[in-house]
Structure 1
């Protein structure tokens, strides 16, 4: 079902899909800021924490090799339900992990479910969003995720402090069960699309959309820079004797929310160049400020720039990539987006874990800032050469 060129955005299916996707990410962000503390309690070192946090992304990437066969065999909705079921079971299984090895195994299992679910949510969303409002629609689709980011990390910190890790994992699992039940009301699921006459897809074509490699590489750099925030900000705050790390995530996500109210419309009307470069600069500034964090005001100032950068970059890069391919390749292009993003997060977590152990947490964020500096140089050079499409959308509808 190709997306209509025009039409209403806030349909019943769009609302259901956005709400269910928000619950998926609520479970993810609920445990994310405190999972490094949980692994440390299991005896993990900074290097092992980075490895375990990164392993999640590698299993997510591996399962996306089977996105197209999974859709062909089960259909988009059923394949999404399978991914959500795995996420729910994995989240509950963290409670039984009492060693570094067990935590690694559960994390890998969780990545499988998350890899399926994120790809299918994005694909279904693009299928039902009118093409003329794609940047706006993807931005609004992510608002539920943004709200979960505002509430879930602080709630996770509070649950662990007041009730322990067992209650945390139970609450996260319950939210994902609600997401599964909510998907039952989703209707009008597109049938599997034809293969565009290209014959049997190669293994590479199942996981990589070659037309979108350049913006995908930018997503990889973004993920690498953000992995330091996801994996080490709670440990850094604890080392600095700051008890406000929950507010960091709340402020970050508040500004993600604010940015998404306008960034999609700018993307649709002016193109990606008007939003991606400012977003990258915001993220760079946020990382530099984080490297100097010693007080709560500095931490929260960094959160403002982090929120603006994330809120601008993620929907813009994804909408740009989707606009470069025909409708039957949307599942693959979304898999490409998340694979490159997750590769960045995974490799970044491992490398930054080594940096943290060798040089401390300020060095982690200076390294992440250098990654965003590379992003800006590469993207600006591409604009000078005129490599990306001038309007940014490049629709193939």
Structure 2
């Protein structure tokens, strides 16, 4: 069997576009609320600025089918990136809390379109037999952005908000240039008619046939978002300094796990990656809870990187493999919707809980969420195995 080529010009352009898109996002993730507070935003406005972005992204993904039918995947990707540029320009030109809230809605719409269609186009570009490996590499750009961009964004804000927003606009434009450099031709497919609205709302939020990995993605979104957001608070509660090194070490092990996890998925299926990834993430949480030094947190970061690096691309690839090629946009939208629902809802609930019980005890609840993830994954694995055996007996 010949090895299908993965590293094409189009694939490399998409990795770069995705990386620049997430760099722009992570520049602003820790800084936009700080900037809003400096303008006199109230606590309620700051909370809205932080939360409305995710729900705006979820909303626009409900209409990915409509966008594909009307304009195609690449034009939808361009539109999303242009909305990202316009929204950051709005932050810079209209320095008021109300204007930032409005621009944040626009930014969520643009980010929702961009992430969905970048992943959908990548799924089309990657050879089907190497999709797990390819999706793992595709996410490398966003991994680098998550590790480096937040600290750089805080540095730029300390110098000047104008510098921060200019840098965010610049990398968004680079993402647009890289997306344009991807010269894929969209397959002409006879698409079935759009289903009636009353029967398609659920399917627009969660693509038909992807309920299993969708539920797991919601749970992982809560677990993943809680670590990314609250690890610094946990370290402060334990009087541990230099907690930022957690993400440096974690990112290193994400890089190590993704190529191997992708190849494992392509050869043995999603469960071969999801189950050990969940165990690794549970170990990370347990070590974080018990750690009382920086060394303990860094040991936890190793298992965090291995677990997150395995689970994120595996869940996305699992959904993409469950649908026809003309439904890749819908499957990609489902993945990001479920991740955002889990992250946004988890942060609200767990953040409120932490205010009452502290961050150490809050992470015990996060362990419970990931234990439920593992139990459901094992259940789906054995349920799927029974189905395969039943089908084999019928032949």
* Range class of TM-score, shorter chain: 0.7 to 0.9
Q: CA, structure 1 residues 385+286, in 2 after alignment: closer, same or farther (shift >3 Å)?
A: same
Return the alpha-carbon distance in structure 1 between the equivalents of residues 151 and 291 of structure 2.
19
> In the alignment, does 2:134 pair up with 1:137?
yes
Partner of 1:286: 284
Q: Which residue of 1 aligns with 2:309?
A: 311
Q: 2:89 and 2:286 mapped to 1: Cα distance?
A: 36
- Given candidates 345, 355, 358, the residue that maps to 2:356 is 358
- Which residue pairs with 1:181 in the alignment? 177
The aligned counterpart of 2:62 is 65
Determine the structure 2 residue equivalent to 1:246.
Answer: 244
Structure 1, unmatched stretches of 5+, are: 392-397
Question: Pairwise mapping of residues 130-279 of structure 1 onto structure 2 (< 5 A)?
Answer: 130-160=127-157, 162-191=158-187, 193-196=189-192, 202-237=200-235, 244-279=242-277
Q: 1:163 to 1:192 in 2, by over 3 A?
A: farther
CA RMSD across the alignment:
2.8
Moved more, 11-20 or 186-195: 186-195
Q: Is the 8 A contact 2:261 2:310 kept in 1?
A: yes
Q: Does 1:112 align with 2:114?
A: no
Q: 1:170 to 1:338 in 2, by over 3 A?
A: same
Q: Is the 8 A contact 2:206 2:214 kept in 1?
A: no
Partner Cα distance (2:363, 2:47) in 1: 14
How far apart are residue 212 of structure 1 and its match?
0.7
Aligned residues between the structures: 384
Match of 2:347 in 1: 349
> Which residue, 380, 383, 390 being the options, matches 2:381?
383
Equivalent residue number for residue 392 of structure 2? none
2: CA distance between counterparts of 1:279 and 1:97? Answer: 43
* CA shift for structure 1 position 133: 0.8
Moved more, 172-181 or 31-40: 31-40
**Partner Cα separation in structure 1 for residue 236 and residue 90 of structure 2:** 26
* 1:122 equivalent in alignment to 2:146: no
Question: Displacement of 1:296 after TM fit?
Answer: 2.6
Q: Whole-Å Cα distance in 2 between the matches of residues 67 and 114 of structure 1?
A: 13
Report the Cα distance in structure 1 between the residues aligned to 2:201 and 2:77, rounded to whole angstroms: 21
Find the residue that maps to 1:211 and give its secondary structure: coil
Q: Distance in 2 between matches of 1:84 and 1:388?
A: 44
Say if 2:90 and 2:100, in contact at 8 Å, map to a contact too. no
Match of 1:394 in 2: none
Tell me whether 301-310 or 262-271 shows the greater mean CA deviation.
301-310
Q: Match of 1:263, SS?
A: helix
Once the two structures are superposed, the pairs formed by residues 13-24 of structure 1 within 5 Å of their partners are 13-24=10-21
Name whichever of 308-317 and 285-294 sits farther off. 285-294
Structure with the greater relative contact order (CA < 8 A, sep ≥ 6): 1 or 2? Answer: 1
Rounded Cα–Cα distance in structure 2 between residues aligned with 1:226 and 1:131:
28
**Aligned-residue offset at 1:281:** 1.6
Q: 1:44: how far off? A: 5.8
Change (3 A) 1:232 1:278: same
Deviation at 1:6, TM superposition (A): 6.6
Shift of residue 224, structure 1, vs aligned partner: 1.0
Q: CA deviation at 1:355?
A: 1.4
In the TM superposition, residue 216 of structure 1 has moved relative to its aligned partner by 0.9
Distance 1:118 1:23, change over 3 A: same
The separation in 2 between residues aligned to 1:280 and 1:103, in whole angstroms, is 37
The structure having more radius of gyration, on CA atoms, is: 2
**Structure 1 position 390, deviation (Å):** 6.1
Task: Report the Cα distance in structure 2 between the residues aligned to 1:293 and 1:35, rounded to whole angstroms.
Answer: 31
Give 1:337's aligned residue: 335
The TM-score with structure 2 as length reference comes to: 0.87
